[in-house]
Structure 1
Amino acid sequence: MAVFRFSWMKILLATFLLVTLIQSETEARAHNGLKVRRLVRREVDSQENANDSKDWDSELALGDEGTDDFLNDDDDGEDEDGDEDSDEDDTLDTKDTPAAAITSHPINFTLKAGSTVWLPCEISNAGYAVVMWKKGEAVLYQSTMKLTQDSRIHKFNNHTMMIQGVQTEDAGDYTCSVLGYSASETQQVTHSVQLYTEPKIVKMLPEGNNRLVLKGSTLIVQCIASGIPKPTIKWSRAGQRIREDGVEFDDNSIIIKHAKKADSGMYQCLASNSVGKPAHGAVDVKILYAPEVHIKKTVINTDEGYEAVLMCLVKSEPRAIITWQKGEEVITHNDNKYQIQFNNSDHSTLRIFHVTSDDFGKYTCKASNEYGNHHGHIDLVKVPERALWLEGRQDPSEDNPLLTWIVESIQPLTDIELKYLKVDERNDVVLNDRDWIIVRPDINQPTGNRYTISHALEGLTPGKYTAVVRSKNTQGWSQPSEHKFEGEYMSNEIRADERMEEAPQAEVRSSAVGHLPSSSSASILISSFFMYCLVRVL
């Protein structure tokens, strides 16, 4: 019986000791948990989302009136059982415990859509550290508590966070933080996630009225493109690559200083980054300038009773207003006498019906816009028009150049004067006006009122030449028309000398060939010599 009592007492004593140990451990964990919850509450209270803050407050509520006093002053309060707290009971002993520290470094991830990314957050001395993951300001994880509904996001025990099937909306900054007792003690590491994206044209500049650029000013064309990696930009205009001649390239822009009218047109940019297809953009730029009048034929031949057509070409931006004048008098459209036509906004034609003696004289084509004005003159005459030179060519049978030109005259041609001379090759000027060589080319039969005249020049030496021609009809001489040409010519005297030099050489060769002994003659001489020697011996 005594043995039974002793055993029973040992069982009770062991049970008491075990219960006491479990209670002490439970109290310690509760105390540490209280500290952790206080830190979590401090972090959560700083969130901008009011709804999340309410949820966290309800979960972290301590349920008694002494909670706030306890959180504010750990040293002087009582514990939940009403006992006095010692310094060892209400504070965490951190003197001998190293602080948690993040050892991972920031990483910039560039990924393909649909891939998986692991965001590391390695922590030394993690212990009871509170670890938080955020994207921007949105909390994704608070320790082991997941606060995002995205099923693609997972956090592992080593605090690494994984995102599966990365999409465009996942791009951004992800921050892993280890919360401390104060903001200065909080540590964090931030990773950047971005996706490879094909190029896209965001904007083309200039826009609107800025596409109109005054001649002589600076033109800047920009192609703003997005994409990862950053796209490279190539420029073209009217289907032709833009080179660096007169153009500055600056990242996504081209700069043209002192813009010319030729710089007008459609500028196209091609953005490429090896991801997907290249992107195209275009902007139409117009260079504004004053009118420029061009007259192709400044002299028009006609006669009384005929019809005359005067034409002028006008280049301008914006479109110019074109008027015709004879002397100081402005010509207006009149179906019986004058007809003024405009073609493609830059050609103007003045048609004069039934020319009379009063219609001969000087006409002016005038053009003006808001940036200036310009004009050109046309003479309506009875004498031949100024000769129009055609491309020079060599006479196919000789080394002489063949000059060809066209003359228009309703009245028959009676004379043609062609003069030419060699000019100074350095300054391209006539050395002596008395050195002109004058010839009278033949006059061919015209085709309608058009004469085509050709003349071959002889005796020229290599060098540059100037030719001037004028024509005469029954009303007088035309204005002179000048033509410059050059070549490696050979005069008749040089060709004759070369023939003389070649002839004696041929005779010498034939003479030399005639005096060489033939093989049969040599054989006869040798045979005669042996016969002579034989007779002497006998």
Structure 2
Amino acid sequence: MPGGRCFVICLLLVVVVGVCNGHDFISPPTTVKARENNTVLLPCYLNTLSNDEAYAVSIKWFKEHDLLADSANDSVVPPERHTLWQNGSLQIVSVKPMDTGEYTCEIERPEPWGAIRQRHAIEVLHAPSVEPFPPNGFLEVKLGEEARMSCKGGGVPYPIIKWYFQGEELKLLDHRELLKFTASDRLLAGKYSCEAFNGVGEPARTEISLNIIFPPEILTSRSWIHTAPGLRAQLECKISADPQATVTWLKGEIQVPLDNRVVSLVDGDKYTLLIRNVQRSDFGIYTCRANNELGQGEVQIQLSGVPNPGVFKKTGDKNLNAKTSYLLIWEVDSYTPIIEYNLWFRPYRPKSGLNKPGWTKLTIPTEHSLGPVFSKSYTIKGLKEKSIYEALLVSRNRYGWSKPSPILRFATAGAEVNEELMTTVQMITQDNMIPLDLSSSASSILSFKNYLLCLVSVFYNSLKYK
């Protein structure tokens, strides 16, 4: 008997497991994708093994956990647009997005089988939508801060999100809703847009405008301006700032007094200090200073009466056969007559490091000229054959010495040279500096001191606002 009972129980378990493994329903669980206003029929057909087998006691339908219909309870009325048919299927007409969800068919059967369940799902397809954040479509951050914007997608199926900046698609690693980055450059400001696409209807699109606020950034095209008494001078600086900056012109640390002769002008982002009928007292270093709530920026401009740096001119074929001499020709712009020139030259030694040859100075008198362009030629004699030299020039007028000219490299006949080597170069290294003789007047020393101060100031500001 114990063995027989065990056999019967095991047999019943096999039958029950077999029924639960797929012999209860004719149709498998399914997900129905339907467009809005279509009709959907969800099946719930019991797979009976024979006509003599017991029938279902009742059929119930649930959406998620809410009871929709019960064939054994007339008090449960199916919602509008829902119909429970005698064969157990549930019909929904004119489906809406709200009908999207999971549906469960539950069949109550007499003993010994009990209840069985089958799940279906409905996805009501509808066009995509997007909701931007910030909701007003405008985001403002400080330069260097993190910018965070997002597009919340909607629609069935859930849409793919693409991002664009100024109309160009951003190549991101995934289709993310949240876009975040460091606003490290003002060029990142502009219109960002996101597009939601799910294959149903037209894509949805919205825009977010990003504004990056920043402290003043100042540039000037001329940090040194040559002029003379009686002339007109314009000092200009270009300012970018958000919020808008308040701009002040100073000479030294004193604000420039404005009147009919000295006028401050504004044209868009260009700020100009116009000095009519320049006086000698106007010479000096001016500061264009801008302030807003995020910070301050400034740039310095020197107004001077000393000559412009000289420029060496090409001599063409005049030095082709010059073995031990070389003809130099230069021009200097100066509103005031040139008094004298200092011409410095030395052999060129590219690899000699700190042991480069010393400079030789020649003081060359000027010739009478009306200006403002002063020209001069001079032949350096006693040079070595087949050798390369470098030279530079400074010039003096009544207001002092000019800044050094760019270094000119030249060669006597027969020297091996290349075009790149012979290009004029600026004095940009300490090794190129020369002991300029500025002892001719106190004003000359002061002028050169102001020049050095201006160079340091301009270099500092170029690093500060780069």
Q: TM-score range by the shorter chain?
A: 0.5 to 0.7
**2:6 corresponds to which residue?**
none
Q: Map 1:46-57 onto structure 2 (within 5 A).
A: none
Structure-2 change in CA distance of 1:221 and 1:157 (3 Å): same
**2:447 corresponds to which residue?**
none
Structure-2 change in CA distance of 1:303 and 1:494 (3 Å): closer
The one of 142, 151, 154 equivalent to 1:223 is 151
Would you say 1:353 and 2:294 are equivalent positions? no
Measured on the aligned residues, the alpha-carbon RMSD in Å equals 5.0
Q: CA deviation at 1:241?
A: 4.0
Q: CA deviation at 1:275?
A: 3.1
CA contact (8 A) 2:387 2:415 kept: no
Determine the C-alpha separation between the residues in 1 that align with 2:206 and 2:387: 58
**What one-letter code is carried by the residue in structure 1 that aligns with 2:265?**
Q
Q: CA deviation at 1:319?
A: 2.2
Structure-2 change in CA distance of 1:268 and 1:190 (3 Å): same
Determine the C-alpha separation between the residues in 2 that align with 1:201 and 1:263: 23
Tell me the TM-score normalised to structure 1 length: 0.52
The one of 205, 217, 228 equivalent to 1:292 is 217
Q: SS state of the match for residue 187, structure 2? A: helix
**2:162 corresponds to which residue?**
234
Q: SS state of the match for residue 123, structure 1? A: coil
**1:513 corresponds to which residue?**
none
**2:126 corresponds to which residue?**
197
User: Quick check: which one's strand share is greater?
Assistant: 2
Post-superposition CA distance 1:10-64 (Å, at most 9, x none): xxxxxxxxxxxxxxxxxxxxxxxxxxxxxxxxxxxxxxxxxxxxxxxxxxxxxxx
The one of 102, 112, 134 equivalent to 1:173 is 102
Q: CA deviation at 1:107?
A: 3.3
Q: Unaligned stretches of 5+ in structure 2?
A: 1-15, 49-53, 313-329, 362-370, 376-385, 418-466
Q: CA deviation at 1:142?
A: 3.0
Task: Name the larger-Rg structure.
Answer: 1
Post-superposition CA distance 1:239-283 (Å, at most 9, x none): 444456xxx867222332473333333222233333333332222
**What one-letter code is carried by the residue in structure 2 that aligns with 1:310?**
L
Post-superposition CA distance 1:495-532 (Å, at most 9, x none): 9xxxxxxxxxxxxxxxxxxxxxxxxxxxxxxxxxxxxx
**2:445 corresponds to which residue?**
none
CA contact (8 A) 1:219 1:259 kept: no
**2:184 corresponds to which residue?**
259
Structure-2 change in CA distance of 1:127 and 1:419 (3 Å): farther
Structure-2 change in CA distance of 1:138 and 1:230 (3 Å): closer
Aligned length: 351
Q: CA deviation at 1:293?
A: 2.1
Determine the C-alpha separation between the residues in 1 that align with 2:201 and 2:152: 18
Determine the C-alpha separation between the residues in 2 that align with 1:460 and 1:142: 110
Q: CA deviation at 1:434?
A: 3.8
**What one-letter code is carried by the residue in structure 1 that aligns with 2:41?**
W
**1:311 corresponds to which residue?**
236
**1:456 corresponds to which residue?**
none
The one of 325, 329, 337 equivalent to 2:261 is 337
The one of 274, 298, 302 equivalent to 1:379 is 302
Q: CA deviation at 1:195?
A: 2.7
**What one-letter code is carried by the residue in structure 2 that aligns with 1:350?**
L
**1:276 corresponds to which residue?**
201
Post-superposition CA distance 1:134-164 (Å, at most 9, x none): 44576554328663442xx444443122334
Structure-2 change in CA distance of 1:468 and 1:193 (3 Å): farther
Determine the C-alpha separation between the residues in 1 that align with 2:124 and 2:391: 72
Q: SS state of the match for residue 196, structure 1? A: strand
User: Quick check: which one's helix share is greater?
Assistant: 1
Q: SS state of the match for residue 55, structure 2? A: coil
Determine the C-alpha separation between the residues in 2 that align with 1:232 and 1:467: 68
**Structure ranking higher on relative contact order (CA contacts 8 Å, 6+ apart):** 2
CA contact (8 A) 2:56 2:108 kept: no
Q: Map 1:33-72 onto structure 2 (within 5 A).
A: none
Taking every aligned residue pair, what percent have the same amino acid on both sides? 28
Would you say 1:108 and 2:31 are equivalent positions? yes
Determine the C-alpha separation between the residues in 1 that align with 2:191 and 2:280: 50
Q: CA deviation at 1:117?
A: 2.9
The one of 120, 123, 126 equivalent to 2:43 is 120
CA contact (8 A) 2:349 2:356 kept: no
**What one-letter code is carried by the residue in structure 1 that aligns with 2:60?**
M
